[in-house]
């Protein structure tokens, strides 16, 4: 049975992982100041793997020369330290010649999806801005420092769609998510506290099931269809872009939004909620509805905050 876990204030998984790495590097390089930390150039990349959420870092390769240590030795030291503080969040592996692999655990992925349903995206960005100014310590499940994250988490300026058709596609996807969630409420598959919001909801106030049954009894994610995993992968990438855009270039929000809406359309076409699924596998139907709500939350944020356009409830 899936038990509700504390939700980290780091909505972006990449931002959370940066904070772990910064803390570990500060310990394992044995120096008070390090160029890699000072200039905030920690290499961290998300892999495109629909079967798992995988990040890779070559930080030990970058630091090995300045530390006069072999890359594998340094990677092993960093990984050992990280295993002690985030083993319930990531599975960590050291790969020659000095790569560190981080695979997100299913239970943490379920917690992350639940946080999107509950509207943590906007709150996390606002909270992150306040904490960056204060340079304070995060008091959360992970209990880690946030003071080194400011340059990774600047929000890009809003822009507009260059093609009206693309804007309509994204707005349609958002409206479709809303209508499906409201239909599920009317049919009793889920129960909402306020089923008819006057404006596009920042989050859904779900009474039941709460939390969404993301996990099977063996602790693995119910959402295993390729189009479910592709949509989850897109959501992770979009939230990473919102909170930790690549400092080397700007995010093309029109393309990001369109990719997410297309992933949603493919998911909706191939992953049923009603009919036989609702009757024989109600928890799978509810998990898919949870994914709809998470998608709507991210689409709304991108439309209103990054693109400056209206996120409609219906079209």
Q: 13-110+137-149, which class in CATH? A: alpha beta
Give pLDDT, residue 239: 94
Give me the pLDDT at residue 265, please: 96
Is pLDDT larger for residue 201 or for residue 123? 201
Average pLDDT, the chain: 80
In the chain, CATH 1.10.730.10 covers 155-306
Segment 80-96 mean pLDDT? 90
Place of tokens 């030990």: 60
* Per-residue model confidence (pLDDT) at position 109: 95
Residue range 59-76, pLDDT digits in tens? 888 888 878 889 999 999
Range(s) within the chain of domains with CATH label 3.30.1360.70: 13-110+137-149
The vertex-237 CA angle with 64 and 231, nearest 5°, equals 135
pLDDT 10s digits, 206-248: 999 999 999 999 999 999 999 999 999 999 999 999 988 765 5
pTM: 0.82
Query: Which residues have a Cβ under 8 Å from the Cβ of 248 and sit 6 or more positions away?
Result: none
According to CATH, the topology of domain 155-306 is Isoleucyl-tRNA Synthetase; Domain 1 (1.10.730)
Residue 141: per-residue pLDDT:
33
Average pLDDT over residues 115-125: 76
For residue 100, give the nearest of 136, 68, 64 by alpha carbon: 64
* Per-residue pLDDT reduced to its tens digit, 140-165: 333 333 333 333 333 333 444 555 57
Rounded Cα distance, 130 and 25, in Å: 24
- Helix, strand or coil, per DSSP, at residue 93: strand
């Amino acid at each position: 049975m899936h038990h509700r876990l504390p939700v980290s204030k780091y909505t972006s998984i990449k931002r959370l992982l940066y904070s772990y790495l910064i803390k570990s590097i500060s310990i394992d390089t044995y120096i008070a100041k390090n160029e890699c930390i000072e200039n905030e150039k920690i290499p961290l990349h998300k892999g495109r793997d629909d079967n798992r959420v995988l990040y890779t870092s070559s930080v030990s390769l970058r630091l090995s020369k300045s530390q006069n240590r072999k890359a594998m030795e340094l990677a092993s030291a960093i990984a050992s330290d990280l295993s002690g503080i985030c083993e319930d969040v990531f599975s960590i592996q050291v790969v020659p010649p000095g790569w560190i692999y981080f695979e997100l655990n299913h239970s943490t992925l379920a917690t992350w999806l639940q946080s999107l349903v509950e509207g943590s995206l906007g709150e996390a960005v606002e909270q992150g801005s306040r904490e960056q100014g204060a340079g304070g310590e995060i008091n959360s499940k992970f209990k880690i420092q946030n003071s080194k994250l400011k340059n990774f988490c600047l929000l890009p300026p809003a822009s507009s769609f260059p093609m009206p058709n693309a804007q309509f596609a994204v707005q349609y996807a958002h409206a479709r998510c809303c209508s499906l969630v409201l239909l599920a409420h009317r049919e009793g598959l889920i129960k909402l506290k306020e089923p008819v919001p006057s404006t596009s909801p920042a989050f859904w106030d779900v009474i039941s099931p709460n939390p969404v049954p993301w996990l099977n009894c063996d602790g693995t994610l119910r959402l295993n269809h390729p189009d479910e995993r592709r949509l989850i992968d897109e959501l992770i990438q979009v939230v990473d872009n919102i909170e930790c855009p690549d400092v080397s270039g700007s995010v093309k929000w029109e393309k990001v939004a369109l990719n997410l809406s297309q992933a949603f359309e493919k998911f909706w076409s191939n992953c049923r909620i009603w009919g036989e699924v609702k009757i024989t596998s109600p928890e799978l139907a509810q998990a898919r509805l949870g994914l709809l709500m998470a998608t709507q939350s991210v689409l709304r944020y991108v439309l209103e905050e990054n693109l400056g356009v209206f996120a409609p409830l219906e079209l």
